[in-house]
């Protein structure tokens, strides 16, 4: 793709914008999705595109430490976490569909609205005099954050709530990349490690919920009140 | 396991004291090229955390032994399952405490966040310790709400990093260092800092249990083992407030104190206000304590919002006193639970004083302390905060504070006295519990003592921390 | 004069190419399912056979029943004349440009739906109501996507739209274009009655939509309706291709370029047919109440596309 020393910022901006758009589409697809396994794969695909965005930004801005962040994303979010969750799904033999709390067409409209909100918020960060990629990416990042949050509230099954939380974190990663070209490496390491451990912990928790409640439907967790 | 735990925490306490001494002498301490940074605020938080951890670890020896005997942890004492459970407890608790200590010494705001997330992860399995249906529910709520909150906090951290990107050296590791950012706070980007503070308040406020993000607290505190709940409600609360304070300092230096003040007062009063009805209508002991913690988190947030010399001092004093009082309360509540095997007031029928005189007295004392009754120390700190409110012209805040405080006072007093003081009859007195009662007595002694006399070095530390907050 | 020749040429192209596209899709689908398939020229043979056969018209039918096939056929042809197929310069430029195309296709659909109701049979009514439901949801999505492209081009005239796309090779990388393309692709599936919205090969009550509406037709009328359906499919496919990837679109019909243009058109149609076949083979037909969800996705994509022309 970028083998030639073609350092045209325009092209880089276009590529980043394109991939950011794909990421956004995947996030919206997650709102409409019903099958749990597809959710996991959408998350993996989304993380992959995020890693590509990070790599593109690293290339065009000569910032090698972002390559490490991109590599970590691939390792943790594209490979490890989806494998973890797919194994969990196999063990729990989930074949049920997920019924969101708000029906799909209205959820989609809400997701569209949240995308708009993300754009409006990102506008205030846009400094035309600062050259660089990522104005679009920041808008997409904030939209990912908001739509992920909405997804968490909208979903009933525990596993999809956790996946929505992880897409929220994806949005944060994208925001960090586009605002500040990533955070200092040690922070990135810490964040990724946390994501991995969180995925494992939540996976175990989900498994135990499933065993105890015979279902992952979190609306059944209502015994503690007051 | 037990001995190693206690010994380890003893060592930590000594290190904490050493750190405090060093900070008192030198003002600030930093290692590893600014990666670790400790000033009076950090030292105070570390000291409190270490102290609580030590006491709770001695308490948990007796507590867990009782649990093994009574069958709460499964049917077969000394069976493999129980050993595994114990191992989990004794390894997760140090992990939890270590993460909390890390929060207080990390200079880098991102590392601080990672450590806070580590505390959440470490404590999730502690909440599910008993493996009951309700424990799972509590742990799930805790995990999800905590996860969302911390994501917001991470976003706030990213935005704060962006706010400092025009500073020299921001590309390197030190760009997120609090000490660096605090020095150049006036040059931070203002719009970004506004957004960052809101996100941080929502994020770390979730961990602190501010309303409306507080819903995980009653569940988590009532389902977790009592020593864990004690640590969560004191040390972890302090750490969450510590993170909030760090960002508050940055924001107030960048934007001036009015903007963060409005937000902090709002959330603080909301927390106090929300706990009132839940305290008045409460039926469960540990949930009552959880709402009381939410109330105190609100009080400390109000103190932070008021800032200035009085407010900051009130905040730091309150943090110290609350730690001691709340842990005493939780540990004595643990005693009560293990004797009566229930948390419900109705089932205890006022029998605490009869059955467990020592615990009853300590519980009563700690209760009075927590609701702010003189001559206990919390009265002084709350009075200081009220003075700060009225001095600064925040009459509405002061009035609401008194109103809500009265509500909590009434509720807690009625419920707990009803539970503790009952007519004398011949209920059998509970057996002696050396470990638990010993820990309880230590804390109770500290509580009483501190009402009258704060040792000078501790007071210097508190003053120093207050100075860090108010910016002098 | 030149215009007339262009119109006639495009007319002939539409008439001739439409059944071929249907045949190619069917054969490709069969091959993918390891069958031999009927051969790509089978639709021609079917049409010829139908034109030779006698007609049976229900007694309860009114003039709508007899008029509908003609209306559908000619409105679709008229719409097809407005699409740039070989040259960027579309032969016919009616007022409203692409809106006129959409409304002409809508006119055809309206009459077809009426004819389904006209005979009083239950299958017809079933098909008509389902078809109108789907089109009620698909049209807004299509409109939004079209408007996106039109805003990019500065006019709703298809000539201008196609013309503005020529020469800007990286434009299709812009998110607005991508979203619009995705929305239009989903709408294409809905409007041409392909899996996962409708199964064009079935006559089962639960699964018919388009087939249910035309169930009562026979003989030449059936030939007209089927031909019109394949022309509509060709029109929508060409619209999709030439608005977004106008590679090989010639400036005008005349000269050597015309053959080149036809060649490029055939190549792009083949590519799109392969994509449609893949989609049909890999997916199962959606249950009817799930179709609004798919169309809601198309709607969201369309609105995102429109909004991103202003934001990106």
Residue C187, sorted as left (phi over 0), alpha (psi -120 to 50) or beta, turns out to be alpha
Chains that touch B (3 or more CB pairs under 8 A): A
**Among B173, B175, B287, whose Cβ lies nearest the Cβ of A226?**
B287
Which residues does chain A have within 8 Å of residue B170's beta carbon, measured at their own beta carbons?
180
User: Cα–Cα–Cα angle for B381, B382, B388, nearest 5°?
Assistant: 90
Residue C61 has pLDDT above 90, yes or no: no
* ipTM metric: 0.86
**Contact (Cβ atoms closer than 8 angstroms) between residue A54 and residue A69:** yes
Query: Up-side HSE of residue A150: CA atoms within 13 Å toward CB?
Result: 26
CA C203 and chain centroid, separation: 21
Residue C298, in any domain of the structure: no
Token pair listed for B1: 């396991």
* CA of C126 vs chain A CAs: smallest distance (Å): 23
Chain A's closest residue to B144, CA to CA, is A162
CA gap B276, B292 in Å, rounded: 9
Residue C116, in any domain of the structure: yes
Instruction: Give the pLDDT confidence score for residue B149 in this predicted structure.
Output: 92
**Among A124, A187, A205, whose Cβ lies nearest the Cβ of B110?**
A187
Q: Say whether A15 and C173 touch across the interface (CB within 8 A).
A: yes
Kindly state the DSSP code that residue C93 receives in the 8-state scheme: -
Q: Say whether A25 and C182 touch across the interface (CB within 8 A).
A: yes
Least confident of A101-110, B424-433, C280-289: B424-433
Q: Say whether C297 and A29 touch across the interface (CB within 8 A).
A: yes
Residue C297, in any domain of the structure: no
CA gap A192, C91 in Å, rounded: 59
Collect all residues from A whose CB is shorter than 8 A from any CB in C. 11, 14-15, 17-18, 20-22, 24-25, 28-29, 32, 104-105, 108-109, 111-112, 115-116, 119, 136, 139
A-B CB pairs within 8 A amount to 125
Q: Pick the residue with more confidence: C201 or A41?
A: A41
Q: Say whether A21 and C179 touch across the interface (CB within 8 A).
A: yes
Task: Find the distance separating the first CA and the last CA of chain A, reported in whole Å.
Answer: 58
CA gap B72, B334 in Å, rounded: 13
Token pair listed for C108: 């055809």
Instruction: Report the DSSP beta bridge partners of residue B38.
Output: B29
Helix (H) or strand (E) holding C25: helix C2-32
* CA of B267 vs chain A CAs: smallest distance (Å): 20
Q: Say whether C300 and A18 touch across the interface (CB within 8 A).
A: no
**Among C182, C293, C311, whose Cβ lies nearest the Cβ of A104?**
C293
Domain range holding C85?
Answer: 2-137+156-170+201-278
**Contact (Cβ atoms closer than 8 angstroms) between residue B366 and residue B358:** no
- Nearest to C186, CA basis, from A108, A37, A145, A152: A108
Helix (H) or strand (E) holding B468: helix B456-470
Q: Say whether C300 and A111 touch across the interface (CB within 8 A).
A: yes
Residue C98, in any domain of the structure: yes
Residue C240, in any domain of the structure: yes
Residue B171 has pLDDT above 80, yes or no: no
**Among B148, B161, B218, whose Cβ lies nearest the Cβ of A180?**
B161
Residue C130 has pLDDT above 80, yes or no: yes
Of the pLDDT bands very low, low, confident and very high (cuts 50, 70, 90), residue B472 is low
Token pair listed for B112: 């601080």
| Segment C298-302 mean pLDDT | 89
**Contact (Cβ atoms closer than 8 angstroms) between residue B37 and residue B105:** yes
Read off the pLDDT of residues B377-433 as tens digits, 9 standing for 90 and up. 888 899 999 999 998 888 898 999 999 999 999 999 888 888 888 776 656 666 667
CA gap C233, C138 in Å, rounded: 15
Burial category of A23 from C-beta neighbours within 10 Å (exposed 0-12, middle 13-18, buried 19 and up): buried
Instruction: Report the DSSP beta bridge partners of residue A217.
Output: A157
Chain C's closest residue to A120, CA to CA, is C311
Which residues does chain A have within 8 Å of residue C296's beta carbon, measured at their own beta carbons?
32, 104-105, 108-109
Q: Say whether A201 and B155 touch across the interface (CB within 8 A).
A: no
Read off the pLDDT of residues B180-210 as tens digits, 9 standing for 90 and up. 888 888 888 888 888 899 999 999 999 999 9
**Among C296, C308, C311, whose Cβ lies nearest the Cβ of A108?**
C296
Instruction: Report the DSSP beta bridge partners of residue A157.
Output: A217
Choose, out of C304, C306, C309, C310, the residue to mutate when testing the contact with A (most A CBs < 10 Å): C304
Q: Say whether A108 and C297 touch across the interface (CB within 8 A).
A: yes
Chain C's closest residue to A137, CA to CA, is C312
Backbone angles phi and psi of C87, in degrees to 5: -115, 150
Least confident of A197-211, B255-269, C231-245: A197-211
Of the pLDDT bands very low, low, confident and very high (cuts 50, 70, 90), residue C173 is low
CA gap C199, C192 in Å, rounded: 10
| Segment A93-120 mean pLDDT | 82
| Segment C41-58 mean pLDDT | 92
CA gap C172, C98 in Å, rounded: 19
Residue B331 has pLDDT above 70, yes or no: yes
Read off the pLDDT of residues B14-73 as tens digits, 9 standing for 90 and up. 888 888 888 888 877 777 777 888 888 999 999 999 999 999 998 888 888 888 877 776
Highest mean pLDDT among A95-109, B150-164, B415-429, C147-161: B150-164
Chain A's closest residue to C312, CA to CA, is A136
Residue C190, in any domain of the structure: no
| Segment C81-106 mean pLDDT | 82
Q: For a pLDDT cut of 70, what percent of chain A falls above it?
A: 87
| Segment A66-71 mean pLDDT | 86
CA gap C179, C307 in Å, rounded: 10
Of the pLDDT bands very low, low, confident and very high (cuts 50, 70, 90), residue B317 is very high
Q: Say whether A205 and B128 touch across the interface (CB within 8 A).
A: yes
Distances (CA, A) of C108 to B403, C68, C214: 72, 8, 13
**Among A14, A104, A112, whose Cβ lies nearest the Cβ of C173?**
A14
Read off the pLDDT of residues B91-143 as tens digits, 9 standing for 90 and up. 899 999 999 999 999 888 888 999 999 999 899 989 988 888 888 888 988 99
Instruction: Give the pLDDT confidence score for residue A1 in this predicted structure.
Output: 45
Q: Say whether A112 and C312 touch across the interface (CB within 8 A).
A: no
Helix (H) or strand (E) holding C251: none
Question: DSSP H helical segments within chain A, as ranges?
Answer: 9-32, 36-61, 65-73, 81-92, 104-123, 135-154, 158-180, 185-213
Residue C96, in any domain of the structure: yes
Report the interhelical angle of B357-370 vs B308-340 (nearest 10°). 150
Q: Say whether A17 and C175 touch across the interface (CB within 8 A).
A: yes
Question: In total, how many domains does chain C have?
Answer: 1
CA gap B406, B52 in Å, rounded: 28
List own/partner pairs for C78-81 with CB under 8 A and 24 or more apart.
C78/C104, C79/C104, C79/C105, C79/C232, C79/C235, C80/C10, C80/C11, C80/C14, C80/C231, C80/C234, C80/C235, C80/C238, C81/C7, C81/C10, C81/C11, C81/C14
Residue A195 has pLDDT above 90, yes or no: no
Residue C146, in any domain of the structure: no
Read off the pLDDT of residues B53-66 as tens digits, 9 standing for 90 and up. 999 998 888 888 88
Backbone angles phi and psi of B140, in degrees to 5: -65, -45
Backbone angles phi and psi of B429, in degrees to 5: -75, 140
Collect all residues from C whose CB is shorter than 8 A from any CB in A. 170, 173-175, 178-179, 182, 292-293, 296-297, 299-301, 303-304, 307-308, 311-312
Q: Say whether A25 and C301 touch across the interface (CB within 8 A).
A: yes
């Amino acid at each position: 793709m970028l083998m030639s020393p073609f350092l045209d910022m325009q092209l880089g901006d276009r590529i980043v914008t394109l991939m950011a758009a794909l990421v956004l589409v995947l996030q919206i697809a997650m709102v409409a999705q019903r099958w749990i396994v597809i959710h996991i794969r959408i998350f993996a695909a989304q993380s992959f595109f995020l890693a590509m965005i990070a790599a593109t930004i690293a290339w065009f801005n000569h910032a090698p430490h972002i390559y490490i962040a991109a590599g970590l994303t691939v390792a943790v979010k594209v490979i490890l976490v989806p494998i973890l969750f797919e194994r969990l799904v196999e063990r729990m033999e989930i074949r049920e569909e997920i019924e969101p709390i708000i029906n799909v067409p209205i959820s989609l409209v809400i997701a569209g609205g949240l995308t708009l909100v993300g754009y409006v918020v990102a506008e205030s960060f846009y400094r035309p005099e600062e050259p660089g990629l990522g104005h679009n990416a920041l808008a997409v990042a904030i939209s990912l954050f908001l739509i992920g949050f909405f997804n968490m509230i909208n979903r009933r099954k525990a596993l999809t709530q956790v996946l929505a939380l992880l897409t929220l974190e994806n949005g944060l990663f994208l925001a960090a990349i586009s605002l500040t070209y990533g955070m200092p490496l040690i922070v990135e390491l810490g964040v990724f490690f946390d994501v991995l451990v969180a995925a494992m912990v939540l996976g175990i928790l989900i498994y135990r919920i499933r065993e105890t409640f015979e279902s992952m439907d979190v609306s059944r967790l209502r015994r503690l009140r007051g | 396991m037990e001995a190693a735990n206690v010994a380890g925490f003893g060592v930590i306490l000594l290190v904490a004291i050493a750190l405090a001494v060093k900070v008192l002498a030198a003002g600030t301490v930093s290692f590893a090229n600014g990666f670790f940074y400790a000033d009076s605020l950090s030292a105070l938080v570390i000291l409190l955390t270490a102290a609580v951890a030590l006491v709770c670890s001695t308490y948990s020896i007796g507590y867990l032994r009782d649990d093994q005997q009574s069958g709460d942890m499964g049917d077969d004492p000394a069976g493999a399952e129980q050993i595994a459970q114990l191992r989990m407890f004794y390894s997760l608790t140090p992990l939890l405490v270590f993460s909390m200590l890390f929060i207080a010494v990390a200079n880098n705001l991102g590392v601080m966040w990672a450590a806070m997330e580590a505390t959440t992860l470490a404590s999730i399995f502690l909440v599910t310790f008993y493996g009951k249906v309700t424990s799972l529910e509590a742990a799930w709520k805790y995990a999800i709400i905590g996860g969302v909150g911390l994501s917001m906090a991470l976003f706030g951290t990213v935005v704060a990093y962006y706010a400092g990107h025009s500073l020299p050296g921001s590309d390197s590791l030190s760009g997120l260092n609090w000490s660096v950012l605090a020095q150049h706070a006036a040059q931070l980007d203002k719009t970004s800092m506004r957004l960052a503070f809101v996100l941080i308040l929502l994020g770390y406020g979730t961990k602190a249990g501010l309303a409306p993000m507080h819903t995980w607290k009653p569940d988590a505190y009532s389902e977790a083992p009592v020593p864990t709940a004690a640590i969560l409600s004191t040390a972890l609360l302090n750490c969450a407030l510590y993170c909030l304070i760090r960002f508050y300092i940055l924001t107030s230096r960048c934007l001036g104190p009015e903007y963060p003040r409005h937000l902090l007062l709002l959330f603080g009063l909301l927390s106090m206000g929300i706990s009132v009805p839940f305290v008045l209508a409460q039926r469960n002991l540990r949930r009552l304590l959880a709402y009381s913690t939410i109330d105190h988190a609100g009080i400390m947030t109000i103190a932070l919002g008021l800032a200035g010399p009085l407010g900051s001092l009130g905040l730091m004093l309150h943090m110290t006193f609350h730690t001691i009082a709340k842990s005493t309360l939780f540990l004595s509540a643990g005693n009560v639970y293990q004797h009566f095997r229930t948390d419900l007031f109705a089932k205890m029928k006022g029998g605490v004083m009869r059955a467990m005189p020592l615990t009853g007295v300590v519980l009563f004392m700690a209760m009075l302390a927590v609701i702010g009754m003189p001559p206990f120390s919390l009265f002084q700190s709350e009075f200081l905060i009220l003075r700060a409110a009225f001095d600064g012209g925040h009459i509405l805040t002061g009035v609401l504070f008194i109103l809500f405080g009265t509500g909590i006072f009434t509720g807690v007093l009625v419920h707990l006295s009803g539970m503790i003081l009952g007519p004398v009859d011949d209920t059998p007195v509970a057996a002696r519990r050396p470990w638990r009662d010993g820990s309880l007595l230590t804390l109770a002694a500290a509580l009483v003592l501190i009402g009258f006399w704060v040792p000078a070095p501790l007071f210097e530390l508190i003053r120093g921390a207050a100075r860090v907050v108010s910016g002098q | 004069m030149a215009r007339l020749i262009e119109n006639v040429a495009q007319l002939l192209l539409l008439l001739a190419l439409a059944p071929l596209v249907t045949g190619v899709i069917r054969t490709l689908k069969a091959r993918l399912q390891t069958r031999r398939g009927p051969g790509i020229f089978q639709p021609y043979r079917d049409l010829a056979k139908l034109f030779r056969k006698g007609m049976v018209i229900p007694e309860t039918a009114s003039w709508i029943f007899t008029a509908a096939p003609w209306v559908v056929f000619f409105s679709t042809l008229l719409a097809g004349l407005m699409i740039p197929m070989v040259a960027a310069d579309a032969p016919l430029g009616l007022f409203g440009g692409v809106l006129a195309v959409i409304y002409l296709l809508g006119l055809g659909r309206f009459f077809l739906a009426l004819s389904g109701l006209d005979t009083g049979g239950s299958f017809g009514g079933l098909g008509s109501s389902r078809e109108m439901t789907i089109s009620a949801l698909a049209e807004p999505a299509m409109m939004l996507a079209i408007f996106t492209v039109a805003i990019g081009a500065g006019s709703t005239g298809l000539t201008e739209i196609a013309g503005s796309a020529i020469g800007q090779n990286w434009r299709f990388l812009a998110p607005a274009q991508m979203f619009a393309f995705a929305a239009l692709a989903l709408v294409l599936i809905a409007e041409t009655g392909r899996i996962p919205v409708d199964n064009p090969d079935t006559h089962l009550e639960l699964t018919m939509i388009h087939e249910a509406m035309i169930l009562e037709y026979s003989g030449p009328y059936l030939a007209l309706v089927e031909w019109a359906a394949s022309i509509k499919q060709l029109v929508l496919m060409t619209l999709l291709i030439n608005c977004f990837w106008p590679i090989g679109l010639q400036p005008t019909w005349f000269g050597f370029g015309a053959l080149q243009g036809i060649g490029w058109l055939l190549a792009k149609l083949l590519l799109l047919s392969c994509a449609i076949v893949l989609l049909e083979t890999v997916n199962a037909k959606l249950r009817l109440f799930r179709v609004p969800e798919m169309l809601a996705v198309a709607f969201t994509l369309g609105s995102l596309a429109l909004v991103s022309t202003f934001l990106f």
